[in-house]
Structure 1
Amino acid sequence: MINQQSETSLASDTEGSSDTATSPQQHAKPPVAISCTRGFPDWLLRNNVSLAFTSYQTGRLYLVGVNAKGQMSFHERYLARAMGLTADPQRILVSTLFQVWRFENVTQPDAGNTGAHPDRHYIPRIAHTTGDLDIHDMGIMADGRIVFVNTLYSCLATLSPTHSFRLYWKPPFISKLAAEDRCHLNGMAMKDGIPAYVTATSRSDIVNGWRDRRAEGGCLIDVRSDAILTEKLSMPHSPRWYEGRLWVLNSGTGQIGTIDIETGTFEPHAFCPGFLRGLAFHNGHAIVGLSQPRAGTFSGLALDDELKKRDADPWCGVQVVNLATGDIVEWIKLEGGVTELFDVAVIPGVRWPVATGFLNEEIHKNVTFEA
């Protein structure tokens, strides 16, 4: 359950302990305390958006909106190893431990909702079983196909009606498809309806070779030309194309910034106190996911020194960055059982989203039909 510790009133909707259908764990999740800025509900309403974010560490999908009382609503559902996320007003896609789930909205958007009830209700309709591919970022191409970062096999892939996946693209330095997570390919930027850029922790071509290249050697690659734009980043994640610029999270330094396509130079725009993963944009703002650095994999990075210099502790949560100033204007902080997030999405035109989960009888009884 969610402990309601906050600087503003929080409404929460959670499910109970997990089951084998959605999680390998059989015990109740540890409690989570969520706090946020008092102005966050107004920011969501002014911008006419809601948010979604995932935590693979605890298998959680959160939908964030504003309820009938004008309070923040945190709607939580359990999905084992919830990672890659893409969302729009009618559909949410989430990659999980061994499947890609498609949630469909069953609430009529033109029903004249006045804010008294949730204006979107997402129900899991289709699951594509891929096996454990360690799927990271996902996107939907112009032709409707789902494309995703197949991290275990160091490639981009699409869904196959018969097999676990179909190869779409692999980096030029990867000599073969193998379940070895050679370079830790992790992020994907869509542009004009196709994958345009990807991030990888290194250009290693041996099993788990990226782990020795965490501090530097992070790559940003042009999918269309195979050109490596830079390999001087530190564990980069979540490349995104926004308003004519290529943005990326330089996670090993805690910075969000842009990449000069011609020179490969990284220009930092803001520092966020955590290991950064998950990036979305709306109306001149970046919505950034933060995780607490994990011992081992995330240790020994420049982020450690930057936090010490600022006399700061790392966060787990979501921060909203004003791109014009680099200031953090709103934030959500999670403490307790959730320490790591992966992806963040903006749902435009939606005030109060909810979803049906797998762990109670709601999924058995919530039946809708087409006229």
Structure 2
Amino acid sequence: MNNPTVAGEETEQPSAADARPANPFRYVVSPGFAGTLERLRGTLLLTTYQAGKLMAVRAHTGRVSTLLRTFDRPMGLALTGDKLALGTRNAVWFLRNARDIAPQLDPPGAFDACFTPRQCHITGDILGHEMSWGYSPEAGVGETPPDAPPTELWVVNTRFSCLCTLHPDYSFIPRWRPSFVSALAAEDRCHLNGLAMVDGQPRFVTALGRTDTPRGWKPGKADGGVLIDVPTNEIVADGFAMPHSPRWHAGRLWVLDSGQGELQVVDPKTGQRDTVVRLPGYTRGLVMHEGYAFVGLSRIREKAEFGGLPIETSGEPLQCGIWIVDLRRGVAVEFMAFEAGCDEVFAVEVLPGIRWPAIIGFKQETIDGIFIVPPT
């Protein structure tokens, strides 16, 4: 791993789209972190519910810049085309990339995207965790054209131990729950948390325990985690320490064994687990892009929830930030580590082909002056 270098919190001139108070986050990045983002022509998004921020991590001329927007306990992120879904404490926000607005922002020509809030769906505090865009659960095999854009948002409803979708008439519609959970109840019985989609439908989920009582997963959190096949409701693998973020990528099933600080590959037929890389933090939040895995890392501050995990026995200080893993070599190659302002990362997403986005939030004057209307 390269030696870290300090990156300033802002590298561009202040603009109307970026107007905000001083950035409370302090971070260091490895020398090649910014160059990797530039080479991949993308921007990273991450959420931290501890700090209440949605953060865009952008790079230009070898420097890193962060853009912060405030939301109430932001967690899950899901992107499809120009639409971004963001899960918060009691609602899901939908932001649209207004490509026609971006060139008009100050300074002109600086931004190649502008995500603006368009809709909000009130869910109540369902402890919504990961989210993914897919197809309607009513769609049968072969009924959806292979090139059709996904239009259904699937949400991991942790409080009710189920997968759900949204409907304008209801807080949510329950669609699936583990076979060992006997009833739909607001009791966080197994801490269902992660979701992997395959062909637009939920295929694998993670939970912190195979339990059916209110918060019954807590006593066995160090080794009771499970990976479940959704269509069959069978356990694919178990023995995880608080697993998160299953993903189906390049024909393989990946998962974060968070309490071990590991990125693993799992054989869905046999349950065989192989460690790809071990990282210096509680791993949660995962996205794959162009041969790399972007992994969120967190420190363990809340001992009641996260204490007693195997990663604590290493004796090494835990890190918070984003680590980039070269999937071809199975090694961590670059990182961004937070030294202040942030102790946990929840979700990580890539905006492909977008190098310098603006995000219009609510606690800034610009929302009052952004109007998106059809041409007249």
Which residue is 2:41 aligned to?
48
Q: Cα offset for 1:10?
A: 4.1
Which residue is 1:304 aligned to?
312
Which residue is 1:336 aligned to?
340
Which residue is 1:82 aligned to?
74
Which of 275, 280, 293 is equivalent to 1:286? Answer: 293
Q: Does 1:38 align with 2:31?
A: yes
Structure 2 matches for 1:8-47, cutoff 5 A? 8-11=7-10, 13=18, 15-16=20-21, 31-47=24-40
Q: Cα offset for 1:161?
A: 1.3
Equivalent residue pairs, number: 350
- Please give the alpha-carbon distance, in whole angstroms, between the structure 1 residues aligned to 2:231 and 2:99: 39
Which residue is 1:99 aligned to?
91
Structure 2 matches for 1:1-371, cutoff 5 A? 7-11=6-10, 13=18, 15-16=20-21, 31-67=24-60, 70-88=62-80, 90-108=82-100, 116-143=109-136, 144-294=151-301, 295-305=303-313, 307-308=314-315, 312-371=316-375
The residue identity in structure 1 corresponding to 2:74 is: A
Percent sequence identity over aligned pairs: 39
Superimposed CA distance per residue, residues 133-189 of structure 1 (whole angstroms, 9 cap, x where no aligned partner): 000000111351111000000000001211111011010010001110000000000
- Please give the alpha-carbon distance, in whole angstroms, between the structure 2 residues aligned to 1:56 and 1:9: 23
- Larger mean Cα displacement after TM superposition, 291-300 or 5-14: 5-14
Q: Cα offset for 1:300?
A: 1.3
- Please give the alpha-carbon distance, in whole angstroms, between the structure 2 residues aligned to 1:37 and 1:209: 40
- Larger mean Cα displacement after TM superposition, 243-252 or 222-231: 222-231
Runs of 4+ in 1 over 6 A off after TM superposition: none
The residue identity in structure 2 corresponding to 1:33 is: R
Superimposed CA distance per residue, residues 16-69 of structure 1 (whole angstroms, 9 cap, x where no aligned partner): 49xxxxxxxxxxxx93212212222211121121110000111100011224x5
**Conserved in 2, the CA contact under 8 Å of 1:58 and 1:80?**
no
Superimposed CA distance per residue, residues 318-363 of structure 1 (whole angstroms, 9 cap, x where no aligned partner): 0001112222211111122211110001111111112011112211
Q: Cα offset for 1:88?
A: 4.6
The residue identity in structure 2 corresponding to 1:81 is: R
- Please give the alpha-carbon distance, in whole angstroms, between the structure 2 residues aligned to 1:88 and 1:71: 28
- Please give the alpha-carbon distance, in whole angstroms, between the structure 1 residues aligned to 2:330 and 2:40: 18
Superimposed CA distance per residue, residues 281-322 of structure 1 (whole angstroms, 9 cap, x where no aligned partner): 0111110000101322211111112x32xxx21011000011
Structure 2, unaligned runs of 5 or more: 12-17, 137-150
Superimposed CA distance per residue, residues 255-294 of structure 1 (whole angstroms, 9 cap, x where no aligned partner): 0011111111211100111111100001111100001013
- Larger mean Cα displacement after TM superposition, 181-190 or 42-51: 42-51
Q: Cα offset for 1:250?
A: 0.2
- Please give the alpha-carbon distance, in whole angstroms, between the structure 1 residues aligned to 2:226 and 2:110: 45
Superimposed CA distance per residue, residues 60-96 of structure 1 (whole angstroms, 9 cap, x where no aligned partner): 00011224x5532211001110000012552211100
SS in 2 for 1:297: helix
Superimposed CA distance per residue, residues 219-265 of structure 1 (whole angstroms, 9 cap, x where no aligned partner): 10000111111121110000000000000000011100111111112
- Please give the alpha-carbon distance, in whole angstroms, between the structure 2 residues aligned to 1:213 and 1:76: 36
Q: Cα offset for 1:6?
A: 5.3
The residue identity in structure 2 corresponding to 1:159 is: L
The residue identity in structure 1 corresponding to 2:305 is: T
- Please give the alpha-carbon distance, in whole angstroms, between the structure 2 residues aligned to 1:286 and 1:90: 22
SS in 2 for 1:159: strand
The residue identity in structure 2 corresponding to 1:300 is: G
**Conserved in 2, the CA contact under 8 Å of 1:54 and 1:344?**
yes
The residue identity in structure 1 corresponding to 2:152 is: R
The residue identity in structure 2 corresponding to 1:54 is: T
- Please give the alpha-carbon distance, in whole angstroms, between the structure 2 residues aligned to 1:370 and 1:14: 26
**Conserved in 1, the CA contact under 8 Å of 2:190 and 2:212?**
yes
**Conserved in 1, the CA contact under 8 Å of 2:134 and 2:153?**
yes
**TM-score of the superposition, structure 2-length normalised?**
0.88
- Please give the alpha-carbon distance, in whole angstroms, between the structure 2 residues aligned to 1:314 and 1:110: 38
Structural RMSD (CA)? 2.3
- Please give the alpha-carbon distance, in whole angstroms, between the structure 1 residues aligned to 2:6 and 2:80: 29
